[in-house]
């Protein structure tokens, strides 16, 4: 399928984009795809070496890319990332609020206040900061597109991840509110809702499991397509929402879940 998309070119030509959590997984795959579609990209992540490596790789391909270390829990860090896009590229057209962390699978009774707060701060508050400071540049400047990384956990759940599910459900509500507020400003705000994707986050979840095989089997049983998705498959959905292909779409949560919610 992805090979058939190889001929799609230039969907973000002349645009400037910010990708948070760009160091690995879905963020990295999306930043690479944005750059190959013509965007200049600001790469933001707490993992400085990872984004420096990615920036160098993209520049070797002829893209414009800058790496900015950013902890999305810090509003000043997030604001600085958006300002960097403006100072380096003169515009801010696309923001993918992707940075996020998981909660180890456990009973909600055992989730500490510190763990709950940390997950909410990174996933939900970090996404809010990204939207807030993106909108300050987009509103009144011709518009733009914001894509937030929610989750299938905002729609369907099996328990054991209360802070993560709460944060991702909050992202969906935040997305809808901002989409309504800014529909007349030519700013579209949408979300992706990935299912089980082959990322470092899910590898960590597997490593913590006492029976890795049974957890993996449960994931596959809950996914009608019977496999994990790839970061690249999610990235193409982000590109669709970020590009003119989805020009009449706002306030939507796009499932990339192999059919899980349809069951």
Share of the chain above pLDDT 70, in %: 93
Report d(CA 93, CA 139) in Å as an integer: 11
Q: Quote the CA–CA distance of 126 and 248 in Å, as a whole number.
A: 26
| Percent with pLDDT over 90 in the chain | 80
Residue 40 confidence (pLDDT) above 70: yes
Q: What is the DSSP secondary structure assignment for residue 229, as one 8-state letter?
A: B
Which of 185, 202, 201, 108 is CA-nearest to residue 145? Answer: 185
Question: H helices within the chain, ranges in order?
Answer: 25-36, 48-60, 75-89, 113-120, 126-138, 162-181, 200-208, 212-221, 231-242
What is the model's pLDDT at position 206? 66
pLDDT value of position 23 = 97
- Which SS3 state, helix, strand or coil, does residue 68 take? strand
Q: Could you report the per-residue pLDDT of 193-216, keeping only the tens digit for each?
A: 999 888 777 677 666 766 667 667
CA-CA distance, 62 to 201, in Å (whole number)? 30
Whole-number average pLDDT of the chain: 93
Q: Quote the pLDDT of residue 134.
A: 98
Whole-prediction pTM = 0.93
pLDDT at 2: 57
Per CATH, which fold does 2-195+232-248 belong to? Answer: Rossmann fold (3.40.50)
Average pLDDT over residues 247-258: 97
Domain locations in the chain?
2-195+232-248
- Band (220; pLDDT cuts 50, 70, 90): confident
**8 Å CB contact between 82 and 92:** yes
**Residues with catalytic roles:** 164
Residue corresponding to tokens 């940390």: 118
Proportion of the chain in helix, strand, coil states, percent, rounded to 5: 50, 15, 35
Cα distance between residue 168 and residue 136, in whole Å: 23
pLDDT confidence of residue 45: 98
Contact assessment for residue 219 and residue 158, using Cβ atoms and an 8 Å cutoff: no
| pLDDT band per the 50, 70, 90 thresholds, residue 218 | confident
In order of 14, 70, 163, 235, the CA distances from 44 in angstroms are 20, 6, 24, 16
Band of residue 168 on the pLDDT scale cut at 50, 70, 90: very high
In the predicted model, what is the mean pLDDT of residues 228-234?
94
pLDDT over 90 at 122, yes or no? yes
- Classified as helix, coil or strand, 66 is strand
pLDDT reading at 66 higher than 70: yes
Least confident of 35-39, 118-122, 156-160, 177-181: 156-160
- Three-state SS at 250: coil
Q: What is the per-residue pLDDT for 158?
A: 73
């Amino acid at each position: 399928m992805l090979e058939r998309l190889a001929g799609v070119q230039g969907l973000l030509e002349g645009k400037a984009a910010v990708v948070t959590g760009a160091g690995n997984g879905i963020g990295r795959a999306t930043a690479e795809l944005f750059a190959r579609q013509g965007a200049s990209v600001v790469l933001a992540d707490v993992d400085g070496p990872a984004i420096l490596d990615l920036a160098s790789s993209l520049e070797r391909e002829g893209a414009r890319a800058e790496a900015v270390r950013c902890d999305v829990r810090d509003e000043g860090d997030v604001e600085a990332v958006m300002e960097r896009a403006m100072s380096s590229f003169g515009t801010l057209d696309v923001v993918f609020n992707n940075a996020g962390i998981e909660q180890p699978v456990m009973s909600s009774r055992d989730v500490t206040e510190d763990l709950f707060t940390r997950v909410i701060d990174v996933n939900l508050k970090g996404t809010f900061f990204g939207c807030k400071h993106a909108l300050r540049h987009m509103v009144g400047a011709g518009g733009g597109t914001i894509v937030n990384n929610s989750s299938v956990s905002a729609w369907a759940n099996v328990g054991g991840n209360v802070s993560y599910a709460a944060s991702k459900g909050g992202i969906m509500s935040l997305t809808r509110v901002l989409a309504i507020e800014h529909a007349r400003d030519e700013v579209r705000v949408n979300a992706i809702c990935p299912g089980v994707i082959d990322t470092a986050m899910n590898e960590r979840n597997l490593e913590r499991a006492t029976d890795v095989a049974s957890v993996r089997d449960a994931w596959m049983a809950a996914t009608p397509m019977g496999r994990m998705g790839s970061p690249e498959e999610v990235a193409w959905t982000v590109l669709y929402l970020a590009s003119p292909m989805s020009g009449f779409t706002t306030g939507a949560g796009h499932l990339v879940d192999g059919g899980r919610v349809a069951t």
